[in-house]
Amino acid sequence: MGLSFSHIVIVLLVVLIVFGAGKLPKVMGDLGKGIRKFKEGMDGHDEAGSKVLLEKDEEKKEE
């Protein structure tokens, strides 16, 4: 059971009604940023996490 075109249109109309036309671009931008950060975290490309891993690797090399 997949989503048909009519289902997608209904969902988009509900989103438009809930958030309004003025806030919709900001909401979609924030959603995109969240998805991008989630993917980066899943791939291990997290900047803070990478720095911690690099520091731990350097400490192990010094020992």
**Does the pLDDT of residue 45 top 70, yes or no?**
no
pTM metric for this prediction? 0.48
- For range 39-54, the mean pLDDT: 65
Q: What span, in angstroms and rounded, lies between the C-alpha atoms of 36 and 45?
A: 11
- Identify the CA nearest to 49 among candidates 33, 37, 31: 37
Task: Average the pLDDT over each of 15-19, 27-31, 48-52 and give the range with the smallest value.
Answer: 48-52
pLDDT for position 5: 92
* φ, ψ of residue 2 in degrees (nearest 5): -105, 175
